[in-house]
């Protein structure tokens, strides 16, 4: 029993046209028209595959293939939204491999005891609406529906209004549900599998993630007549914070990473001293205590930078997901599947967040990684060869058969 690589590739090429950038990447921000078109395409394919499709109040899409018994389903999912000028593999590959697994089960007339459900989660990236994984967060009961609805994008547009506008504000409650397991195939987005020439990553868990928002307020003034003395430049303070954030991992742990990815300068013109800056801080570490230590260092760095420039600051640590080990049974099923296929595999920890992280709080969860060329992701250069995807997709198929119990 194997997946059909040509069919998978054809679906990938077709879906990848929606939101494609001139350089062959993808810009398909959550709940935009491009996201709607990708969702519509997926829903049509899911219905063609005989799945019972439903949409919940967060716009998560589910397609269920019946089992032979009334048991909780094995859920296979990922997302179809992307970051701006991102790649075609992040998220999209996972939902299409899940679809291909279901198509292959149909072709083989395979019955499973547990139903198998394909899931597509809303706004996984957190690029348009923060935080990331917001819809699996609501499903898992970790984020309040109201808070998610009121998340706004850069233009102040609310998530709930966009859900409604694109026709994906569904009727199903977005609450924890009984699941046999949750399994997600994804690109690694890092260099390890490629470096070791392994095609399958048996994911053991995901690092802890913390997101903070910082606003620095100085004094906006004319860039010409205002002497250098006494300036209160919000951007100068921000620059100090950026350098300090870069230095945090060196003070905490070898595994920690820290990133300022977003900076909004106001008024952002050549001839005014910046009056305010808003910025993001992303901190990640496999260890919860180290994350807490890093946040204390961040607090101190912000205070110091603000004091030395005489600006005020407002720092909010608004999102945190603890380090998440995956369930031994699911990790084992993935490992056995990779072994049965004779695929070169290794155990691996994810440095990226995934919906699997929230799903792991309500059911046994796990993930399968396939290699990323040059370890690159969240960029247009993202790429994985089909020879590498095929063993990963077959691992997903065999692990699903084990967890759903083929009859
Ligand atoms: C999701 O892409 C993340 O930020 O890890
Ligand atoms: Mn992803
Ligand atoms: Mn991503």
Percent of the chain exceeding pLDDT 90 equals 100
| pLDDT tens digits, 258-312 | 999 999 999 999 999 999 999 999 999 999 999 999 999 999 999 999 999 999 9
Ligand 1 and 67: CB distance under 6 A:
no
Ligand 1 and 207: CB distance under 6 A:
no
| Distant-in-sequence, close-in-space partners of 221: CB < 8 Å, separation ≥ 6 | 231, 272, 273, 275
- What is the distance in A from the centroid of ligand 3 to the CA of 83? 7
Q: Average pLDDT for residues 68-85, to the nearest whole number?
A: 98
Question: Where does the pLDDT of residue 119 fall: very low under 50, low under 70, confident under 90, or very high at 90 and above?
Answer: very high
Ligand 1 and 125: CB distance under 6 A:
yes
Contact assessment for residue 352 and residue 160, using Cβ atoms and an 8 Å cutoff: no
- What is the distance in A from the centroid of ligand 2 to the CA of 234? 33
| pLDDT tens digits, 320-346 | 999 999 999 999 999 999 999 999 999
Mutation test of ligand 1: which of 125, 262, 379 has the most ligand atoms closer than 8 Å to its C-beta? 125
Contact assessment for residue 9 and residue 106, using Cβ atoms and an 8 Å cutoff: no
| Distant-in-sequence, close-in-space partners of 164: CB < 8 Å, separation ≥ 6 | none
Rounded Cα distance between 104 and 94, Å, is 15
Rounded Cα distance between 135 and 60, Å, is 7
| Distant-in-sequence, close-in-space partners of 387: CB < 8 Å, separation ≥ 6 | 199
Task: Report CA 349 to chain centroid distance, whole Å.
Answer: 15
Ligand 1 and 132: CB distance under 6 A:
yes
DSSP assignment of 229-266 = TT---HHHHHHHHHHHHHHHHHHH-TT-EEE---EEEE
- Phi first, then psi, for residue 237 (nearest 5°) are -65, -40
| pLDDT tens digits, 354-372 | 999 999 999 999 999 999 9
Atom of ligand 1 nearest to the CA of 282: 4
Question: Where does the pLDDT of residue 253 fall: very low under 50, low under 70, confident under 90, or very high at 90 and above?
Answer: very high
Ligand 1 and 187: CB distance under 6 A:
no
């Amino acid at each position: 029993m194997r997946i059909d690589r040509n069919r998978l590739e054809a679906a990938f090429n077709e879906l990848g046209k929606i939101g494609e950038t001139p350089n062959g990447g993808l810009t398909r921000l959550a709940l935009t028209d491009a996201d709607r078109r990708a969702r519509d395409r997926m829903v049509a394919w899911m219905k063609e595959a005989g799945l019972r499709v439903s949409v919940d109040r967060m716009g998560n899409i589910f397609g269920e293939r019946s089992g032979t018994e009334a048991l909780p389903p094995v859920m296979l999912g990922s997302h179809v939204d992307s970051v701006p000028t991102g790649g075609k593999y992040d998220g999209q590959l996972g939902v299409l491999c899940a679809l291909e697994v279901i198509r292959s089960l149909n072709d083989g007339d395979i019955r499973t005891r547990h139903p198998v459900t394909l899931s597509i989660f809303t706004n996984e990236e957190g690029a348009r609406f923060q935080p990331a994984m917001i819809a699996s967060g609501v499903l898992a009961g970790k984020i309040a529906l109201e808070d998610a609805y009121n998340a706004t994008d850069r233009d102040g547009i609310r998530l709930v209004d966009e859900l409604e506008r694109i026709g994906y504000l569904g009727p199903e409650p977005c609450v924890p549900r009984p699941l046999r397991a949750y399994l997600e195939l994804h690109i690694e987005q890092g260099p390890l599998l490629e470096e070791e020439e392994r095609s399958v990553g048996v994911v053991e868990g995901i690092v802890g993630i913390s997101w903070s928002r910082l606003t620095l307020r100085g004094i906006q003034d004319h860039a010409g007549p205002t002497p250098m003395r006494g300036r209160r430049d919000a951007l100068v303070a921000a620059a100090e914070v950026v350098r300090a954030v870069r230095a945090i991992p060196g003070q905490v742990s070898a595994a920690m990473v820290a990133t300022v990815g977003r900076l909004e300068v106001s008024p952002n013109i050549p001839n005014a001293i910046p009056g305010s800056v808003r910025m993001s801080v992303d901190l990640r570490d496999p260890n919860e205590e180290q994350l807490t230590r890093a946040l204390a260092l961040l607090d101190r760095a912000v205070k110091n930078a603000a004091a030395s420039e005489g600006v005020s600051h407002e720092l909010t640590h608004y999102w945190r997901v603890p380090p998440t080990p995956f369930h031994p049974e699911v990790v084992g099923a993935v490992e056995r599947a990779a072994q049965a296929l004779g695929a070169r595999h290794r155990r691996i920890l994810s440095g990226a967040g995934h919906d699997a992280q929230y799903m792991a709080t309500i059911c046994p969860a796990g993930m399968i990684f396939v290699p990323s060329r040059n370890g690159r992701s969240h960029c247009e250069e993202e790429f994985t060869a089909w020879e590498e995807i095929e063993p990963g997709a077959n691992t997903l198929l065999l692990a699903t058969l084990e967890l759903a119990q083929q009859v």
